[in-house]
Chains A and B, each alone.
Chain A
Amino acid sequence: MKKTNLLNLTLQLALTDFKLKYSGSVLGYVWSLVKPLLLFGVLYVIFTYFFSLGKGIPNYPVYLLVGIMFWAFFAEATMSGMHSIVSRGDLIRKINFPKFVIVLSAITTSLLTFALNLVIIFVFLFASHVIPDYHALLILPLVFELVVFILGLSLVLATFFTKFRDFSHIWEVVLQVGFYAVPLIYPVIFIPEALRWVIMLNPVTQIIQDARWSLISQDVLTTWKMMGMPLAFLAPTIVVVIFVFGLWFFNISAKSFAEEI
């Protein structure tokens, strides 16, 4: 298959999934916006009125919203990326094509939802009078970095998942821990100093903090600010290493997928 045709296939599969996800529901695509917004609403009420976590942070609502939207994308995309190979088993058993396309299309479906969510973020930014400037352009390479990271992880997870169905549960637990291990609802300064560099090295933290920095305020503490120049590249390096490993691991296993699943 030609490369352009592979791209067409990826998009067709992704769009189909996106369409089918909401087929038969009255509100349709609105649901993909409602769900993270609802989570945002609940967390906002809890952490401003009951725990007053957000007091130290300027523009806490958008700060929280950016974190939740990025995290929701990460969680949903890795989950569906992991399940993609097994759930497309009927296709894999009947036709030979690069299996990579399946994982990529699953992530693309989540990316479409995320693109809609980004619109919501911008609406909220304007509503809270935080007008983004040229720094906001940084959001594009950040989303790209996040997609590469998700893709790398999904390739590894999808391969494991064909052999061990446990990974569905394992990854769910990891995501639950991750929700609190990444500074989504609390500011970075809440993390004990000894632990802080571990948390900040997580590429998801790095991406979310950078996104907040570019969209909301340049006062946000980012990984590169904390680590200094040479070490600032550590998080992106982790992303690249996981992606390359994922590609390699996936490709050596992909030939036997049709028989395994």
Chain B
Amino acid sequence: MAKDSEMLVKVENVSKVFKLPHEKLSTVKQHFVNIFNPKSYEKFKALDSVSFEIKKGEFFGIIGANGSGKSTLLKILAGIYQPTSGKVTIAGSLSPFIELGVGFNPELTARENVFLNAAILGLSKKQTEEKFDQIIDFAELREFLDQKLKNFSSGMQVRLAFSIAIQAEADILVIDEVLAVGDSVFQQKCFDVFYKMKKEGKTIIFVSHELGAVRDFCDRVLLMQHGKVKTIGAPNQAILQYLKLNSESEEQKLTTSKSKNEKSIINSVASLDATGARKNVFDFLEDMVFEVKLNKLGKKSINFGIAIYRADNTYCFGTNTLLDKIKITSKEKFRIKYTRPNLLPGDYYLIVAVFGDTDKQILDYKEKVLTFKVFGSGFGEGVVNLKHSWETHE
């Protein structure tokens, strides 16, 4: 960031409390009848003293689980809601919408909707006319100009909406979840637009669940949790923390369901990093260690098998002590270490099994005993990044 970069958006201690009445009073009679009864409502704190700043020319990402307060925060930034306490200062103009295609009417044609939507976004008729061709060409909807919008697919509608939205004249652009719909070709077009905007030094607030895009574009990322700011920082750091938050809650689920099964041999499986610290989210370049604890089972000799599956049930890799010709010496605890497994970023789970002298004699079998994520810039397609190098001959 340049030294003279000015603060464009300044959010200071913003809180937002919603009063959720148990029974909404919306007629005079109801109010009259209820004059003597104390009104009953629940207070819900959607935002809890949120503070942050956005500099000029910054690509600022906001991530967080559903219900973490992202939308409320955006609505306050856009001026749709008023904060209960705290202050929002915005130098310059901010695109006032938080959703694409606001005011689109299915009964109107694409052409009419362009003019209506552009007017809602604050464009004059002349400006819209000047940009009309650009909008239609970007959306690739020229043949459908005079079709009613209700005959459009949802992807076509989003394309049209996005094309208009990027024409809105504002110093700060808010982009909320545009990548959720639309095919990969259109997504690529959106990315190109983002790159261009970034180059032009536009200030953009980007809200998305598409973590890859957040990582690629954002300069800084704000992670929201339960209406509070959890972290503001470099994209990688914030995303990693977000993924951890998610997997923590998953792990809790797993341990509770396990305790019921007392007879089982496998007590628990944990994922660790190379130093032995518990970890559910691995960087692409990291070593992975799984620690298995067994319930006491006397002198029986056992073998152990472990398989890594991707979330879409692709079998990635499996091995067992029989194949590797290993004897489990400790009957309580042992580890298996994968050095640089090179698994591509994604969600994975483990299946583990304990068996006797042959793999037909299954003593215990646990599906999805543990889930973990791989994150980072693992380029390539498929399941793993096989170690490779290129040689060219002239």
**Interface set of A (CB-CB < 8 Å, partner B):** 1-2, 4-5, 8-9, 11-13, 16, 19-20, 23-24, 90-97, 163-166, 255-256, 258-259
User: Once the chains bind, are B79 and A96 in contact (CB under 8 Å)?
Assistant: yes
Distance in angstroms from A62 CB to nearest chain B CB is 37
Check B155 for interface membership: any CB of A closer than 8 A: no
Distance in angstroms from A41 CB to nearest chain B CB is 32
B98 surroundings in chain A (CB, below 8 A): 94-95
Known pairs A94-B80, A95-B96, A259-B18; A164 contacts B102 (CB<8 A): no
Give A163 to B24 CA distance when docked, in angstroms. Answer: 10
User: Once the chains bind, are A4 and B124 in contact (CB under 8 Å)?
Assistant: yes
B27 surroundings in chain A (CB, below 8 A): 164-166
B96 surroundings in chain A (CB, below 8 A): 95-97
Give A95 to B82 CA distance when docked, in angstroms. Answer: 13
Give A90 to B97 CA distance when docked, in angstroms. Answer: 12
The 7 lowest CB-CB distance pairs between A and B, nearest first, are A96-B79, A12-B119, A96-B96, A95-B97, A1-B122, A9-B119, A166-B28
Distance in angstroms from B167 CB to nearest chain A CB is 13
User: Once the chains bind, are B103 and A256 in contact (CB under 8 Å)?
Assistant: no
Main secondary structure of the interface of B (DSSP, over half): loop
Q: How many residue pairs at the A-B interface have CB separations less than 8 Å?
A: 80
Check B260 for interface membership: any CB of A closer than 8 A: no
Give A92 to B18 CA distance when docked, in angstroms. Answer: 17
Distance in angstroms from A32 CB to nearest chain B CB is 18
- Contact flags (1/0) for B236-247 with A, using CB distance below 8 Å? 000000000000
Residue contacts A-B, CB under 8 angstroms, 25 given: A1-B122, A5-B124, A11-B119, A12-B116, A12-B119, A13-B116, A13-B119, A16-B112, A16-B116, A20-B105, A90-B102, A91-B103, A93-B80, A94-B102, A95-B96, A95-B120, A96-B79, A97-B120, A97-B122, A164-B31, A165-B27, A255-B82, A258-B81, A259-B18, A259-B81
A94 surroundings in chain B (CB, below 8 A): 80, 97-99, 102
Give A163 to B31 CA distance when docked, in angstroms. Answer: 10
Chain B residue nearest to A160 in the complex (CB)? B28
Distance in angstroms from A166 CB to nearest chain B CB is 5
User: Interface size (B, Cβ < 8 Å)?
Assistant: 31
Give A246 to B11 CA distance when docked, in angstroms. Answer: 33
Chain B residue nearest to A165 in the complex (CB)? B26
Chain A residue nearest to B122 in the complex (CB)? A1
Give A19 to B108 CA distance when docked, in angstroms. Answer: 9
Give A20 to B99 CA distance when docked, in angstroms. Answer: 23
Distance in angstroms from A93 CB to nearest chain B CB is 7
Check B125 for interface membership: any CB of A closer than 8 A: yes
Known pairs A94-B98, A97-B96; A16 contacts B105 (CB<8 A): yes
Known pairs A91-B102, A94-B102, A166-B29; A8 contacts B97 (CB<8 A): no
Distance in angstroms from A97 CB to nearest chain B CB is 6
Distance in angstroms from A194 CB to nearest chain B CB is 32
B112 surroundings in chain A (CB, below 8 A): 16, 19
Check B115 for interface membership: any CB of A closer than 8 A: yes
- Contact flags (1/0) for B18-53 with A, using CB distance below 8 Å? 100000001111010000000000000000000000
Known pairs A1-B122, A258-B75; A12 contacts B108 (CB<8 A): no
B79 surroundings in chain A (CB, below 8 A): 96
Check B211 for interface membership: any CB of A closer than 8 A: no
Give A90 to B123 CA distance when docked, in angstroms. Answer: 20
User: Once the chains bind, are B107 and A20 in contact (CB under 8 Å)?
Assistant: yes
B116 surroundings in chain A (CB, below 8 A): 12-13, 16
Distance in angstroms from A169 CB to nearest chain B CB is 9
Give A126 to B115 CA distance when docked, in angstroms. Answer: 39
Q: Which of B76-129 contact A (CB under 8 A)?
A: 78-82, 96-99, 102-103, 105, 107-108, 112, 115-116, 119-125
Distance in angstroms from A52 CB to nearest chain B CB is 43
A16 surroundings in chain B (CB, below 8 A): 105, 108, 112, 116
Q: Which of A4, A20, A95, A163 contacts B26 (CB 8 A)?
A: A163
B75 surroundings in chain A (CB, below 8 A): 258
Distance in angstroms from B27 CB to nearest chain A CB is 5
Chain A residue nearest to B123 in the complex (CB)? A5
B81 surroundings in chain A (CB, below 8 A): 258-259
Interface centre among A13, A16, A91 (most CB of B within 10 A): A16
Chain A residue nearest to B31 in the complex (CB)? A164
Chain A residue nearest to B121 in the complex (CB)? A95
B97 surroundings in chain A (CB, below 8 A): 94-96
Known pairs A94-B98, A166-B29; A5 contacts B80 (CB<8 A): no
Give A13 to B103 CA distance when docked, in angstroms. Answer: 9
B99 surroundings in chain A (CB, below 8 A): 94-95
Distance in angstroms from B361 CB to nearest chain A CB is 62
